[in-house]
Structures are given as C-alpha cells and as structure tokens.
Structure 1
Amino acid sequence: MVRPMPHIFTSTGLPLWLLGWGAEFLRAEMSRLLALLFHQGVLDEQFLQLQQLQDESSPNFVYEVTSIYFSESEKLLRNLKLLLMEKELSDYRKIEIHLNQFMGSSSSIGANRVRNVCVTFRAATEENNRIGCLRALELLENEYYYLKNKLHEFFQIEQQRSLAARVRYPMQD
C-alpha cells in the first residue's frame, strides 16, 4: 500500500519536500507503488520497457503514451457498452474488433490484467454469450479504472518527485 507523503512543515511553513528532503522519499513511493502493481499482476514488464524509452529529450513520454491509451480506451469502453445494449445483438464480430484494439493497446503499455480480461471477454463473444459479455464488460471496467487510478497516483508522485529534485538552495557559509 502506498503511504501518503507526510506533511511535515518547517518553521517557515514550507513543506519539507520543498527543501529537497522529499525527492528520495517520493522515488521510494513510486517504486513501492510499481512493486504493488506488478505483484498484483496489474502491470507487466512492458511497462518497464516503456519507461526505458523515456529520457531527457522526452521526460513525459510514459505519461503521454498512457494518456493516449486512456483516451482511446474510454472510447472503446463506450463503444462496447453501446454494442452490448442493443436489443438485437447479432454482430459479436464488432465487439471482437473493439476488444482486439483494447487488447493490443493494453499490451503495449503493460496493462496485464486489462489485457487478460479482454481475452476472457473475447471468448464470451466467440460463444455469442451475451450474459458472459456483460459480466466481462463490468470486470473490464473495474480493471481499467483501477489501472487508471493507480497510474494517475503514480504520475502525481512522479511530478512531485520531479519538482522536489529540482529545488536547489545556495550553499551556506
């Protein structure tokens, strides 16, 4: 479980992390959160490979890629809901097309559990199992929003760490 950063203030009223004490703490918090997500199977090694592509020339690469993923995933979820809500659901192939897109993009960012639910969902579509599809959609939404919330938390900590690491004070005599 990720512990919130302590709100320890100096006599000046500034948070301690503003004085450069928090960058390492925040780095440790990021590591703990990632370890949790890997332990839970939420993420896989593809997320680490994505992080390795981030450098000084593209310091927000992972955030930008996941933001695109979230934007596209929201559209796919809406489309899946609309298709499953049709009274005469006869074309499971359309659902499979959306699921294949969801699976591919989830794999590319390392969203392991989301991808696995897509596989289960696709199996239900292959059997024309509407009830199975509805259950899989609910599970997919749960996994997706859990991932989204946890990565949002990760990026917030990363942003705070980045700010804390940049704070520099002149040397005292």
Structure 2
Amino acid sequence: MLGFGADRLRADMNRLLALLFHQGVLDEQFLQLQQLQDETSPNFVFEVVTIFFRESEKLLRNLRGLLLDRELSDYKKMEIHLNQFMGSSSSVGAKRVRNVCVAFRAASEQSNRAGCLRALELLEHEYCYLKNKLHELFQQLEQQRVMAAGVRYPIQG
C-alpha cells in the first residue's frame, strides 16, 4: 500500500510539473536546477527558490512603492529592479514572470505609468501563481520523501 501511495504522489507531482511547463510558467532552467540537487544538497532547489521568493517580495514592494509615489516615478530605479527580477526569475526557470518583467521594463523605458501599473498587477498575479504552484510541488516532494523513508510505528508491548 505504501508503494501505491508513493507512485500516485510521484504521478501527481509529474502532472503538476508537466502542467507548469505546458502553461509556460516554468522553462528548462528549472530542470537544470533540479539536476544540481543531489545527496549532498537534497534541498537545493527548495533553498534556491526560497531565496528567489524572498528577494522577489522585496522587489515587488520596491516597484509598487516607486509606482505609487505620484509625484516622482523613478523609471531608472524601476528598470534596475526589473533587471534584477528578470535575472533571478531566469535563474529559477520562472518563464512567465520573466516575460512580464520584460514587458514591464518596456513600459518603464517609455515612462508609461499606466502601462507600468498594469504590468505590476500582472507581475504580482504571475508571481503569486508561481509561488502557489511551487509550494504545492514542494509539499508533494516532502510527502514523497516521508513515504520513501517509511512510516515506523512504535511497538506496543
């Protein structure tokens, strides 16, 4: 029974990954990250993605702050944040997030405040979707690890 549950969990995880690739949420860079994970660093992907999420939250706050300041929208500073966001999203394989950053940067280069606000809204949406789906994936991975380790109950005597 334990094997069946693990097989089902692995199949669910593979379906989720396939969906994220099919939707263009992730790209091959995410697979390359997975290949770097081994016995010496079993949580490598989780740790890299956690850092990405932490840094992304800061960048999103900074971008929102720059855009909400009606007196001064510092487009050059916005472009710096967007370049950082594009680089980090590329490094974890967050394809749709990266693509929105590209469009956001184009609006910023044109000092198009309305376009930047729309792009920020879309960026926040894509980021939240990615975060939720990767959280789901990591939960499945953890469940798979627990099942692989086997559940041992204390012997009642």
TM-score, normalising length: structure 1? 0.85
| Distance in 2 separating the partners of 1:168 and 1:160 | 11
Give, as a single letter, the amino acid of the residue that structure 1 aligns with 2:143: Q
Q: Displaced runs of 4+ in structure 1, greater than 2 A?
A: none
Superposed counterparts of 1:97-136, under 5 Å: 97-136=80-119
Q: 6, 21, 34: which is aligned to 1:51?
A: 34
The residue aligned with 2:70 is 87
Counterpart in 1 of 2:25? 42
Q: Which of these two proteins has the greater Rg computed from alpha carbons? A: 1
Question: Which residue of the partner structure matches residue 6 of structure 1?
Answer: none
Q: State the shift of 1:91 in Å.
A: 2.2
- Match of 2:24, SS state, is coil
1:151 partner letter = L
Question: What secondary structure is seen at the aligned counterpart in 2 of 1:160?
Answer: helix
Is 1:67 the equivalent of 2:50? yes
More helix by share: 2
SS in 1 for 2:45: helix
Give the Å deviation of 1:164.
Answer: 0.6
Q: Which residue identity lines up with residue 65 of structure 1 in the other structure?
A: V
Residues in 2 aligned to 1:90 and 1:153: alpha-carbon distance in whole angstroms: 36
Aligned residue number for residue 5 of structure 1: none
Q: Does the 8 A contact of 2:30 with 2:93 survive in 1?
A: yes
User: d(CA) in 2 for partners of 1:149 and 1:168?
Assistant: 28
RMSD: 1.2
Q: Is the 8 A contact 1:20 1:167 kept in 2?
A: no
Sequence identity of aligned pairs in percent?
74
User: Following the alignment from structure 1 to structure 2, what is the Cα–Cα distance between the partners of residues 24 and 90?
Assistant: 52
Give the paired residue count.
Answer: 152
> What is the letter of the counterpart of residue 13 of structure 2?
M
1:143 aligns with 2:130: no
List gaps (5 residues or longer) in structure 2.
153-157
Deviations 1:97-117 (A, max 9, x none): 000000000000000000000
Please tell me the residue identity of whatever aligns with 2:129: Y
Distance 1:28 1:162 in 2: 14
Give the AA of the match of 1:35.
A
The aligned amino acid for 2:128 is Y
Give, in angstroms, the shift of residue 78 of structure 1: 0.3
